[in-house]
Amino acid sequence: MNKLNTLFLLAFLLLTFQRSDAQSCCARPVGMQAMALTASFKAAHEPPAPLAYEAKKGAMMSFPVTGGAEGHAFYVPGTSNKVLIIFHEWWGLNDYIKREAEEWQNRLGEEVSVYAIDLYDGQVATAPDEASKMMSALTPERGKAIIAGLLKVIGGGKRIATLGWCMGGSWSFTGAVLAGPSAVGCVMYYGFPEKDMARIKPLKCDVLYIRGSKDDFIKQEDVAQFEKKVQSTGHNITMYSYEAVHAFANPSNPKYDKKSAADAQGKALAFLKQKL
């Protein structure tokens, strides 16, 4: 009888392990991670033109991140308590983003410190397949941990605004939420709208959302629902739409729309100046 019970126990444990292993190996990314793996999303992002940018004021910095490897950011020092955190697109923290960090400080003034945060742990993609793998591998847990580590370094008593494009547009919203009462404004360039009200409810600042009406990935109905949910928090959300495709404001994109990008940048700059 004991031998029979032992056989039953072994069979049960083996079946349990097989089910668990099957669930683990078949797990699939969701949301932004899943979008990064689609052929249409990869096809919409042509490789960026090469750029070798020599920084004028900024430099890379490192900081502790709870539960994992240290984080990194391109830091352009300012002279006051005003801070802008920039979130890169799916290519990673490349020279285009470093140039943007310095140019945004030039636009806002030297009193504003700018941090271009690295969510890819030092990796930079130059081809869509590479970017797809990096974006799909970035877990919400790791991304939030990196942002939290940077916010800890920035410290309290600061006025923090966030800005990002595409994948970075979504992370710009997450960063603003994580900044809590220190957040004064959030700019999202064609970021995937957050759908979970539980993640929207803690928001403490106004939002500026910019998109292209010809964007096949950011659906108007999702944007409309996001707008209503942000408004329900008691904060304003300003929406601008351009006759343009996804990533129209990226100068490394062959489909870069210079006129629309300039107009959108003017609106983002006015918003950030007002909030900071």
We report the CATH number of the domain holding residue 153 as: 3.40.50.1820
Residue at 16 is within a domain? no
Residue at 17 is within a domain? no
Give the total number of structural domains in the chain. 1
Residue at 60 is within a domain? yes
Residue at 4 is within a domain? no
Residue at 14 is within a domain? no
Residue at 2 is within a domain? no
- With cut-offs at 50, 70 and 90, classify the pLDDT of residue 30: low
Helix (H) or strand (E) holding 226: helix 220-231
Range of the domain at 111: 29-275
- How far apart are alpha carbons 58 and 136 in whole angstroms? 29
Q: What pLDDT is recorded for position 18?
A: 36
Residue at 21 is within a domain? no
Residue 19 has pLDDT above 50, yes or no: no
55: left (phi over 0), alpha (psi -120 to 50) or beta: beta
Residue 218 has pLDDT above 60, yes or no: yes
Q: What pLDDT is recorded for position 29?
A: 55
Residue at 198 is within a domain? yes
CA nearest neighbour of 186 among 53, 73, 276, 75: 276
User: Per the confidence metrics, is the pTM higher than 0.85?
Assistant: yes
Crossing angle of the two packed helices 140-154 and 167-178, in degrees rounded to 10: 50
